[in-house]
């Protein structure tokens, strides 16, 4: 028969106070110091009363189910700033005097998705006290880089003296994907001729609309179907059944390659470079879709199974959520060769990608635009995106020793038709 698990309710402070009080009580009884006996007895009676009341109330709150709603999308916050607040609701309850509800978030954070679910990552602990009379709380749960957080949220009933902590309510389990902090750069303007052309009929479930489309500037006035336009209050242009729409496809390669052990033991410096590459890719996709929503993105990553086709905003949001989980992949030459085709190729990579020069040679004669994340090293008078290690500690995250494994990352010398480099470094 399985024995019930004992859960201590005394906090370290409460245990220390209890031990000291018992020692003083025994000494005062031996020395017959009535003054000390009265004071220590009062303290012990207070702790006894708090323990009884707390245990009674925590049993009544066992079935309380708080709502834990993290912000979506959740974005990393660099520096001392704070992001959008996590909301905790469903805390409607009356509490005894001298007691408060506390909500804890405890789990592990895997920067850039590094071995998510494994033994790597850093421990996270965030706590907030619910203001008396309030029914919600906002714990400070922020992360300095992108990645995946896996953890639990739970309530505890604590007295204001810090003597006792009682478990109450039902625990909540969450997996939260954290997107990269935004970066900004030069906007890329793409002409329709720079992408591979894809011709297709515009689908429609309505037979009448199947042979028509919405009016766009440049259409002839004589092709407008005024009768249908008046009925749906939108200008509709007639097109023949064999007319096809021309769409530009933009081919993008996200090369999340590292050294042989990078997937399981990446240094913090290399993870920061990868995070900045993700941020640059996000900015690129958003700015191009704002410029021309008709473009279709064909995105490939290191693994042969990582392939996305983005046609609209919903596809983009789904891709950005998956992008947070992509960590380093062991180096490979043939796994991510560019697909045969025409048009400009857009490549996003880091200085950890040792096979990048060879990849760029295989792209010839296609034009290539390269976005690189490089370490700054001794370069001066350049703009550098800094990640401070103290940001982890200030946000309740521990620092993993494996992040500081000495792996020298040298800047790569590469050539392409157009190269944009963003520099990133870490600092204490």
- What is Dmax (Cα atoms) for the chain? 110
Q: What pLDDT does residue 342 have? A: 64
Q: What CATH class is the domain 247-427?
A: alpha beta
- Domain 67-179, second-level architecture: Sandwich (2.60)
* pLDDT averaged over 10-residue windows placed end to end, the chain, 428 residues: 56 92 91 89 93 91 87 82 78 88 90 70 88 83 90 91 90 90 74 51 44 67 76 74 59 82 69 91 90 86 82 91 87 57 83 86 86 80 83 84 72 83 84
Q: How far apart are CA 415 and CA 370, in angstroms?
A: 8
Query: Residue 103 class from Cβ within 10 Å (0-12 exposed, 13-18 middle, 19+ buried)?
Result: buried
Which 3 state secondary structure label does DSSP give 224? strand
Domain ranges in the chain are 12-59, 67-179, 207-243, 247-427
Residue 397 contacts residue 109 (beta carbons within 8 Å) = yes
Pairing of strands 345-350, 296-300: unpaired
Q: What pLDDT does residue 16 have? A: 93
Q: What pLDDT does residue 119 have? A: 63
Does the pTM exceed 0.85? no
User: Would you give the end-to-end CA distance of the chain in angstroms?
Assistant: 52
Give me the helices (H) in 171-305, please.
Answer: 207-210, 226-232, 262-265, 268-291
Q: If we measure between CA atoms, which residue out of 16, 35, 9, 163 comes closest to residue 99?
A: 163
Q: What pLDDT does residue 318 have? A: 92
Q: What pLDDT does residue 396 have? A: 84
Q: What pLDDT does residue 254 have? A: 92
> Could you give phi then psi for residue 84, rounded to 5 degrees?
-65, 145
Q: If we measure between CA atoms, which residue out of 46, 6, 13, 48 comes closest to residue 167?
A: 6
């Amino acid at each position: 028969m399985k024995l019930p698990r004992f859960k201590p309710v005394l906090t370290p402070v409460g245990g220390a106070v209890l031990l000291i009080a018992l020692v003083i009580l025994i000494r005062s009884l031996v020395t017959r110091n009535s003054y000390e006996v009265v004071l220590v007895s009062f303290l012990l009676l207070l702790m006894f009363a708090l323990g009884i009341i707390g245990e009674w109330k925590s049993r009544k709150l066992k079935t309380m189910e708080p709502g834990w709603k993290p912000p979506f999308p959740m974005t990393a916050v660099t520096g001392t700033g704070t992001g959008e607040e996590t909301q905790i609701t469903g805390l409607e309850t009356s509490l005894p005097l001298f007691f408060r509800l506390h909500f804890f978030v405890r789990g592990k954070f895997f920067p850039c998705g590094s071995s998510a679910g494994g033994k790597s990552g850093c421990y996270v602990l965030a706590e907030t006290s619910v203001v008396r009379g309030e029914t919600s709380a906002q714990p400070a749960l922020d992360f300095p880089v992108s990645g995946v957080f896996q953890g639990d949220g739970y309530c505890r009933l604590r007295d204001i003296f810090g003597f006792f902590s009682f478990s109450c309510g039902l625990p909540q389990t969450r997996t939260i994907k954290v997107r990269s902090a935004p970066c900004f750069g030069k906007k890329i303007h793409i002409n329709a001729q720079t992408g591979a052309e894809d011709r297709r009929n515009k689908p429609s479930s309505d037979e009448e609309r199947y042979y028509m489309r919405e009016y766009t500037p440049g259409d002839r006035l004589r092709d407008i179907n005024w009768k249908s336009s008046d009925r749906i209050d939108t200008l509709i242009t007639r097109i023949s059944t064999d007319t096809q729409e021309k769409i530009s496809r933009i081919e993008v390669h996200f090369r999340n390659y590292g050294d042989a052990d990078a997937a399981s033991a990446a240094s913090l410096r290399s993870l920061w470079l990868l995070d900045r590459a993700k941020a640059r890719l996000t900015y690129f996709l958003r700015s191009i879709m704002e410029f021309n929503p008709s473009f279709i993105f064909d995105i490939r990553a290191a693994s042969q199974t990582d392939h996305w086709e983005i046609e609209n905003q919903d596809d983009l949001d789904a891709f950005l959520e998956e992008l947070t989980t992509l960590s380093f992949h062991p180096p490979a030459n043939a796994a991510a060769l560019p697909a045969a085709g025409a048009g400009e190729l857009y490549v996003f990579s880091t200085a950890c990608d040792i096979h990048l020069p060879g990849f760029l040679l295989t792209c010839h004669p296609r034009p290539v635009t390269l976005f690189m994340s490089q370490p700054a090293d001794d370069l001066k008078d350049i703009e550098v995106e800094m990640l401070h290690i103290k940001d982890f500690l200030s946000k309740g995250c521990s620092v993993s020793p494996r992040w500081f494994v000495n792996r020298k990352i040298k800047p790569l010398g590469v050539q392409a038709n157009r190269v944009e480099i963003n520099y990133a470094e870490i600092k204490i």
